[in-house]
Structure 1
Amino acid sequence: MSHAHELHFSFELFPPRTPVGWTNLPRLIGELAAVKPAFFSVTYGAGGSDQNGTYDTLIQVIKQTGIEAAPHLTCIGSTRTGIAALLDQYRAAGVRRIVALRGDLPATAISNAAPGEFRYANELVSFIRETHGDHFQLEVAAYPEVHPQAASPDADFAAYLRKVEAGASGAVTQYFYNADAYFDFVERGEKAGLRIPVVPGIMPIVNYGQLQRFSDACGAEIPRWLRLRLESYGEDKASLQTFGLDVVTRLAETLLKGGAPGLHFYTLNQAEPTLKLWRNLGLPAA
């Protein structure tokens, strides 16, 4: 781990959904900020339901820690005017990095099929570059195991290429448990002439039922051997978490040894699983 100073590590938060979550947020941010990540990203709910929460969480990170915070910005169902206003609001708050995503249509809107003025993330990236030049570092999503709604792996990769060509600065992947999927994806990008860093997304294993639900929804594969081992622990959560920590530690070590430019941790608004991984990997404590 001699390269630790060159690598970039980041943490993802979501806007709390309960009053207790908001009460606990400063402590959560403080515990994660203690290891000095490069930035925090803050997610955005389907159909814009969490936009105020995104902003409030972002401001909490910036004011409390001084560490860079990057809002997720989804464009489906949005207007150019609405996105322009958000970009101005973020710029005024000192934001220099944005995670630019298509996002999901809210369930109520699917029947009306009203996607707004943006259909794809590459259109959002182009719009931000047209209106703000190089002010923002723009991260886009990458799917080493193929986006669940993609017509084919080639169609999915073509969509990724369009986002990069529109002006993405870097990519963060969906989480995965198969390192080869990541290395294959990066190699494919290099063969296509892409030079942006592709940071793997890392999901700690804390709760098997929750992991299954997330993975079904986002198209992340839980390999059969891993699924069977996790199932075998039943209600023994402590053993499951110990095993999960070992598996994800090995995965992260493999990725870093293989040349990954850093790691993006999906914290699920829990500090301890991510910090245990951090310590296991021997990353700098401060």
Structure 2
Amino acid sequence: MTPRISFEFFPPQSLEASFRLWDTVRLLAPLKPTFCSVTYGAGGTTRKLTHEAVTAIGKQFDLIVAAHLTCVDATREETLEIANAYADAGVTQIVALRGDAPKGAERFTPHPDGFASSVELVEALAATGRFTLRVGCYPEPHPDSADTAADVAFLKRKVQAGASSAISQFFFEPETFLRFRDACVAAGIEAPILPGILPIENWNGVKKFAARCGQAVPEWLDVRFGETSAQDHEKLAVDLCTDLCRTLLAEGVQDLHFYTLNRPTLSRDVCAALGVTEAVEQLAATA
């Protein structure tokens, strides 16, 4: 089965990064993603840049774009103003997140007049009637969560508040996602859960990021990259990511959400290996 795909980008903070973003979108847009998302910087530091990137990508590439929106360092009024500005610009999909702690802070602390959680944010956005809402979820326990059961319960609250789908944090082994998906189904969560797929551009960097997110790194994966020469890491990354995706598809997953990190080559190559490129070309030929 050929999957439906989507991509995550992040907004540029320099001229060089801007060129990289547009090159990334230009390379991946022909794969006809169902949507693309654009992140905030850490602590919500790129609100304006996110808004600019979201609107520009939608207009220039004719893509459905979902804007990330967080609760960090903003009042309820300010957050809803940002959301309504998106809707006024024709952007009606939002990925509603609590957000990470601002730089220098150890934990997320709600603004005194802001939303205390992603549940509150989803409720307020849903009440406007202007948005399709996606949320995040965590196949391995969130650093602020007691365990996976707590994460499943919190995801259910977000869906009940108005979220129509969820995008997972990245993971290394398919079983991690599949166990979480099954737990969500058992809890009565009917909203689609899209697995977050991270092609491994830099193994050491990914390990550090996983540690900050509280994710376990499989020993076998560390061994594979350690035994593989540096010039073959890219091929290994594509092969491992393709195998991960194929296992998910065989287990009934229909959508894959790629974290591109604004480096599109690996995501493109994995999509090609999964038959996405061929499917798009066949569709174009019959149009």
Q: Does 1:189 align with 2:198?
A: no
| Corresponding residue number in structure 2 for 1:27 | 23
Residues 47, 26 of structure 1: CA spacing in aligned structure 2 closer, same or farther, 3 A cutoff? same
Q: Secondary structure at the match of 1:34?
A: helix
What does the per-residue CA deviation read over 1:113-143, in whole Å, with 9 as the maximum and x for residues that have no partner? Answer: 453421211111001012x12x311111111
Separation (CA, whole Å) in 2 of partners of 1:262 and 1:114? 33
| 1:243 counterpart (209, 225, 236) | 236
Q: What TM-score do you get using the length of structure 2 for normalisation?
A: 0.91
Displacement after TM superposition at 1:78 (Å): 2.1
Provide the rounded CA distance (Å) in 1 between the counterparts of 2:86 and 2:110.
26
Question: Hey, what's the Cα distance between the residues in 1 that align with 2:108 and 2:46?
Answer: 21
Q: Distance in 1 between matches of 2:261 and 2:231?
A: 18
2:64 is the counterpart of 1:57: no
Structure 2 portions without partners, runs of 5+: 282-287
SS at match of 2:215: coil
* Among candidates 81, 84, 88, match of residue 80 of structure 2: 84
RMSD: 1.7
The 8 Å contact of residues 198 and 261 in structure 1, kept in 2 or not, is answered as no
The answer to whether the aligner puts 1:269 opposite 2:262 as a matched pair is: yes
How much has 1:245 moved relative to structure 2? 1.2
The 1:111/1:252 distance shift into structure 2, 3 A limit, reads closer
* Residues 174 and 220 in structure 1, CA contact (< 8 A), matched pair in contact too: no
Local SS of the residue matching 1:98: strand
8 Å contact from structure 1 (residues 28, 271) kept in 2: yes
Match of 1:129 in 2: 126
Change (3 A) 1:281 1:212: same
Task: Decide whether the 8 Å contact of 1:279 with 1:285 is kept in 2.
Answer: no
Paired-residue identity, %: 37
2:250 to 252, 257, 282: 257
The residue matched to 1:107 in structure 2 has which SS?
Answer: coil
Q: What is the CA-CA distance between 1:111 and the residue it aligns to?
A: 8.3
**CA distance in 2 between partners of 1:164 and 1:195 (Å):** 9
Give the TM-score, by structure 1 length.
0.92
| Cα deviation 1:16-44 (Å, max 9, x = unaligned) | 13211113332221111011111110000
